[in-house]
Amino acid sequence: MINSAYKAPLLFRNGHVHTIYPTLFRKVAGVSYRRERIITPDDDFLDLDWSVIGSDRIAIISHGLEGHTDRAYVKGMVRAMNEEGIDALAWNFRGCSGEANRQFRLYHNGATDDLHSVIEHAAKSYATIYLVGFSMGGNISLLYLGKQEFSISPAIKGCVTFSVPCDLSDAAVALERRENSIYMKRFLRLLHEKVRMKMQLYPECIDDCNYDQLKTFKDFDDRYTAPIHGFDSAEDYWRKCSCRPWLRQIDVPTLIVNSIDDPFLQGGCYPQEECNSNSNLTVEITRYGGHVGFIGAKDSRRYWSEKRALQFIDGCSVGG
């Protein structure tokens, strides 16, 4: 299954270390944003963070679950794009920019309508757009391109994704493993903050009574994500919002990079069969990398994921 030349530094040949270290210790200097708030068709808002150097190309970067545009992995990619002559637009999912969104709905893995709003906004100024997605942001990007619920802008020339839970059911099961309890507890704690913020706006519609009894994504998605967004259950949400069934329909050059030692992934999150049947897709499986890790060599300020994204985008440019 492994088909990548990526070699992790010796100290990071452990999925948990590789996942946790960048979150705690990586600092990315040299990135400054200009924030813009756009209004969505349902009268909500999205906060966009631009890093513009005057290019005619732009990378739209989507973060992961409970992330935001100040995460080191986002800023690292923004900096790398800028240094190679590409503008960057990192966007915050609803409620992830430090302020609760207006509508009752939250963000979730199927929120392709919000990505569409961001793309359409950027397409007013750019003829060449690349999508870059991490984890949930990768799933949303791939689902958007494959399901094609919206008219896909011809400006999109390529897509690069890392650590993608292509099969949300398999990813949820992976995170239920005992050794992953540290991540599950953290996600539930952060999501609790989102629930509390929403309770202030919609006290009659949502509460956190006995929230401490929730132990898994199934618990959370059954109680909140599914009913709030019109799904029958957590399983129904996972099935309808996983990108895996739609990968065969993607018609722009796309790269999916997932690591075998990613604590968050298993099974269908490594969609080799789907990718083998679509010449537009490349799935690259690394031996090491953790979840949104892919640390570079000791003497490199760029992570390998940033170098790989730029390499793939360069290939898209040549192909275009």
Please name which of 187, 163, 177, 184 lies closest in space to residue 262, comparing C-alpha atoms.
163
What is the CA angle 132-294-79, rounded to 5?
Answer: 50
> Rounded CA gap, 23 and 285, in Å?
22
Sheet holding 57-62, edge to edge: 34-39, 45-51, 87-91, 57-62, 128-134, 156-162, 254-259, 281-286
**Cα 274 to chain center, whole Å?**
20
Spatial neighbors of 218 by CB under 8 A, at least 6 apart, are 172, 176, 234, 235
Structural contact between residues 94 and 101, judged by C-beta atoms closer than 8 angstroms: yes
CB 225 within 8 A of CB 104: no
Q: Which residues are catalytic?
A: 135, 262, 291
- How far apart are alpha carbons 132 and 224 in whole angstroms? 28
C-alpha dihedral (7, 184, 95, 81), degrees to nearest 10: 0
